[in-house]
Amino acid sequence: MATSITRLLLSGLWIATSIASAGAPQDQPAPTSSPENTWTTELHTGALWSIGSNASPLDYQLLPQLLTLKTPAHGHLQTGSHTWVIRSRASLEITPVIQGPESYFIGVTFAPSLECWNASRTLSTFFSAGGGIGWMDSQGQTLPGAQGQDFNLTWFIHTGLTWHITPHLSASLGARFQHISNGGQNDINPGIDSLGPTLGLGWSW
């Protein structure tokens, strides 16, 4: 299941990158001060639904709220009129569980962010895969299919397209897959696999 999700999200990234390539000016030089070389704060909201048969049989719906800090680019690779960069990202996640026996998940995650920017720095694609830790009000001791302990591990894949409205302000549309489980620390460990869309706003500084 995880392999299929990865292939699906990578296919979406390829399509988004193709869109960026088609719309990129071929003769416009990159600005001297580029937004990928700045710190960026982002707010993302999303809606994720449980998928697959490798996790809890219960129907979960999560509403992740993410506050993310991105570093300036660690390196650049120029391919024609496009620039590929790697950045680091750290996120605080506060996720209400609006369907499912638990009521919340709160955690922190860390990941690299692979980004492809067009020449005018108005459009970029991103792909991140990483993980972290978190806490939830587990109910698995009394309800079959619920989570077995409060402390959990999580990993995610997040990909999408970002429009840079001004040199500082940006908006994004993406897709996110997230897995939450205790990693076998408890005999009760059904886990949650979820997938859905995200929307975001960012500010570069």
Q: How many residues does the chain have?
A: 205
For range 136-151, the mean pLDDT? 94
Tracing tokens 């292939």 back to the chain, one arrives at 7
Per-residue confidence (pLDDT) for residue 3, from 0 to 100: 53
Q: Say what the pLDDT of residue 35 is.
A: 87
Q: Is the pLDDT of residue 60 over 70?
A: yes
Enter the DSSP assignment of 190: -
Label residue 183 left, alpha or beta by phi (over 0 means left) and psi (-120 to 50 means alpha).
left
Is pLDDT above 50 for 20? no
Contact 149, 182 (CB under 8 A): yes
The model's confidence at residue 34, banded by pLDDT at 50, 70 and 90, is confident
**Residue 123 tokens, joined:** 């459009």
More confident residue, 2 or 199: 199
Q: Cβ distance 175 to 12 under 8 Å? A: yes
Q: pLDDT: is 152 or 20 the higher one?
A: 152
Q: Considering only residues 9 and 154, tell me which one the structure prediction assigns the higher pLDDT.
A: 154
Predicted confidence band of residue 70 (pLDDT cuts 50, 70, 90): very high
- 109-127 mean pLDDT: 95
Report the pLDDT value the prediction gives residue 13, as an integer from 0 to 100.
47
How far out from the chain centre does Cα 15 lie? 17
Chain CA centroid to CA 179, Å: 12
For the segment 10-17, the average pLDDT, to the nearest whole number, is: 49
- pLDDT band of residue 31 (cuts 50, 70, 90) is very low
Share the mean pLDDT of the chain.
88
List, in order of start, the domains of the chain with CATH numbers.
2-22+37-204 (2.40.160.20)
pLDDT, residue 195, reads 98
Whole-model pTM: value is 0.82
52-72 average pLDDT score: 95
**Which pLDDT band, with edges at 50, 70 and 90, does 149 fall under?**
very high
